[in-house]
Amino acid sequence: MTEEERQKGHILYPLCKNGDYENFNQCLMSFQKYLDVLIPKLFKEAINKLQLKEEDIPFGYFCFEVHSG
């Protein structure tokens, strides 16, 4: 596993105890920072694979969910 994959796993799958609001908030902030890196990569991949132009991709093209269980 590369360092990048390890970081993705840590960010994408935060485990928080029920009622641990501070840790949950920290996980959300980490995920938000990760999206700043991930979304541009996803845009490039979508443009290349789907042969799109940047103006073809509307705001909100990608959707993310936060699950708590």
In a domain, 65, yes or no: no
Distances from the Cα of 51 to the Cα of 11, 56, 59, angstroms: 30, 10, 18
Asked if 24 contacts 32 with a C-beta cutoff of 8 angstroms, the reply is no
- Counting the structural domains of the chain, the total is 1
pTM tops 0.75: no
Q: Which domain holds residue 15?
A: 3-56
67 lies in a domain? no
pLDDT in tens, 27-65: 788 888 888 888 888 888 878 888 877 777 666 666 666
Is 60 exceeded by the pLDDT of residue 14?
no
- Per-residue H/E/C for the chain: CCHHHHHHHHHHCCCCCCCCHHHHHHHHHHHHHHHHHHHHHHHHHHHHHHCCCHHHCCCCCCCCCCCCC
